[in-house]
């Protein structure tokens, strides 16, 4: 239990620092060349920020990743992480998250345990978002080495996703989970 508590503390510290670092280092250029909705070429003027929690196998890989977080080699990991919630515990009930109960909010995918908790969230998203603890890296393999991840190395990555038009951008903002899950299949 003590190891789990320490792990959670370390993840939260990393998330705060990494969030600030990632926000400061986000490129103005979109990370993708093709629109995740239509498949057409991206218009660099039409973008949306999107955040995911990534895990790494070690601090060396974190350092390599931070040198060029939008490198083409990492795109697959970003897509994998994009369709998963950042939390494992429902921010309303405290129960384990149901992988089918996902809501996109503030560029994050938030997991809930049931429809009742989703309804409570939709009624008061601001206060519920304050309770969300990002503790779940969305990827299973390190984007740098390909090895199994160590959850203590998790950080939040924020990137600019490009779109071909405002209609596709709106569709993405409404439900990033659906759009990125579909894009992952392509």
Place of tokens 């740098």: 144
pLDDT confidence of 1, banded at 50, 70, 90? low
pLDDT confidence of 69, banded at 50, 70, 90? confident
Taking residues 96-121, what's their average pLDDT? 89
Sign of CA dihedral 131, 152, 154, 99: negative
Task: Tell me the CA distances in angstroms from 30 to 3, 27, 52, 79, 162, one per residue in order.
Answer: 38, 7, 15, 14, 5
Name every residue whose Cβ is closer than 8 Å to that of residue 130 and which is 6 or more positions away in sequence: none
Q: What is the pLDDT of residues 53-63, one digit of tens each?
A: 788 899 999 89
Taking 70 as the threshold, does the pLDDT of residue 92 lie above it? yes
pLDDT confidence of 186, banded at 50, 70, 90? low
Supply the pLDDT for residue 106: 67
Strands, E, within the chain: which ranges? Answer: 43-56, 98-105, 108-112, 150-163
pLDDT confidence of 12, banded at 50, 70, 90? very low
Triad 57, 59, 60: Cα angle to 5°:
95
Joined tokens for residue 84: 């998963």
Taking residues 87-111, what's their average pLDDT? 88
Joined tokens for residue 135: 């503790």
Instruction: Indicate the burial class of 26 (C-beta count within 10 angstroms; 0-12, 13-18, 19 or more).
Output: middle
Domains and CATH numbers, the chain: 2-84+136-185 (no CATH), 88-131 (2.30.170)
Taking 70 as the threshold, does the pLDDT of residue 184 lie above it? no
pTM (2 d.p.): 0.55
Q: By percentage, how much of the chain surpasses pLDDT 70?
A: 78
Q: Which of 108, 95, 133, 94 has its CA nearest to residue 48?
A: 108
| Cβ neighbours around 170 below 10 Å, total | 12
pLDDT confidence of 149, banded at 50, 70, 90? confident
Taking 60 as the threshold, does the pLDDT of residue 172 lie above it? yes
Q: What is the pLDDT of residues 113-144, one digit of tens each?
A: 999 999 999 999 999 998 988 787 878 888 88
Backbone conformation region of residue 107, classed left if phi is above 0, alpha if psi is from -120 to 50, else beta: left
Contact 89/104 with Cβ under 8 angstroms? no
Taking 70 as the threshold, does the pLDDT of residue 25 lie above it? no
């Amino acid at each position: 239990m003590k190891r789990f508590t320490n792990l959670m503390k370390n993840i939260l510290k990393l998330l705060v620092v990494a969030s600030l670092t990632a926000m400061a280092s986000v490129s103005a250029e979109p990370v993708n060349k093709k629109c995740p909705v239509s498949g057409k070429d991206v218009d660099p003027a039409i973008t949306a920020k999107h955040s995911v929690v990534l895990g790494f196998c070690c601090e060396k890989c974190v350092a390599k990743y931070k040198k060029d977080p939008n490198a083409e080699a990492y795109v697959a990991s970003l897509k994998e992480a994009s369709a998963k919630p950042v939390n494992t515990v429902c921010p309303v009930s405290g129960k384990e998250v149901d992988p089918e109960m996902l809501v996109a909010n503030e560029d994050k995918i938030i997991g809930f345990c049931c429809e009742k908790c989703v309804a409570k969230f939709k009624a008061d998203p601001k206060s519920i978002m304050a309770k969300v603890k990002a503790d779940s890296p969305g990827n299973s393999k390190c984007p740098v080495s390909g090895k199994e991840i160590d959850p203590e190395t998790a950080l939040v990555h924020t990137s600019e996703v490009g779109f071909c038009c405002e209609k596709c951008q709106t569709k993405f903002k409404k439900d990033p989970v659906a759009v990125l899950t579909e894009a992952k299949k392509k």
